[in-house]
């Protein structure tokens, strides 16, 4: 799978996430890459609504807790690893076990655990192209 999208607003990023989520079923691992404020959480809000029929207002980045679990049509495990110090810390907290659950893992700041990512990982990179403009690159196995 390879898809390149251009988003001109947060609303459009949400819609792209929703459309992508409606095509993905568990189990799956989605790893998100991009700078701060690139739109990762906005995409995940849309994705969670599309994949699991979850109210997007409930989806918040778990920056201080590392993980939020959303249960809906499918279960979404939403990680934010911005504050993670090392891959061993991820393992010590037992988070790698979620990669084997019947759900969809959405991992923000995946570069922090690059060596732990399974082979069949979908990589989603969001890049700033301007004030409200983003490029969304989706690569990987479905």
Return the pLDDT at 37: 83
Residue indicated by tokens 């807790």: 65
State the residue range of the domain holding 45: 2-139
Return the pLDDT at 142: 57
Provide Rg for the chain, Cα atoms. Answer: 14
Answer yes or no: are the C-beta atoms of 13 and 42 closer than 8 Å.
yes
Structure tokens at 131: 């004030």
Q: Where are the beta strands (DSSP E) in the chain?
A: 2-7, 28-33, 67-71, 75-80, 104-108, 122-128, 134-139
Give the CATH number, domain containing residue 15. 3.40.50.300
Segments in the chain below pLDDT 50: none
Return the pLDDT at 121: 93
Return the pLDDT at 19: 96
Return the pLDDT at 65: 87
Beta pairing partners, 69:
77
Per the structure, the count of domains in the chain is 1
Return the pLDDT at 38: 87
């Amino acid at each position: 799978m390879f898809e390149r999208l251009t988003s001109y607003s947060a609303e459009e990023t949400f819609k792209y996430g929703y459309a992508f989520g409606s095509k993905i079923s568990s189990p799956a691992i989605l790893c998100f890459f991009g700078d701060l404020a690139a739109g990762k959480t906005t995409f995940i809000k849309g994705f969670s609504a599309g994949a699991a029929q979850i109210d997007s207002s409930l989806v918040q980045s778990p920056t201080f807790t590392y993980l939020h679990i959303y249960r809906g049509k499918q279960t979404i495990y939403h990680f934010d690893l911005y504050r993670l110090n090392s891959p061993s810390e991820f393992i010590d907290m037992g988070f790698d076990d979620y990669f084997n659950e019947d759900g969809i893992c959405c991992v923000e700041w995946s570069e922090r655990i690059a060596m732990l990512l399974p082979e069949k990982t979908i990589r989603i990179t969001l890049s700033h192209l301007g004030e409200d403009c983003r490029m969304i690159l989706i690569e990987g196995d479905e």
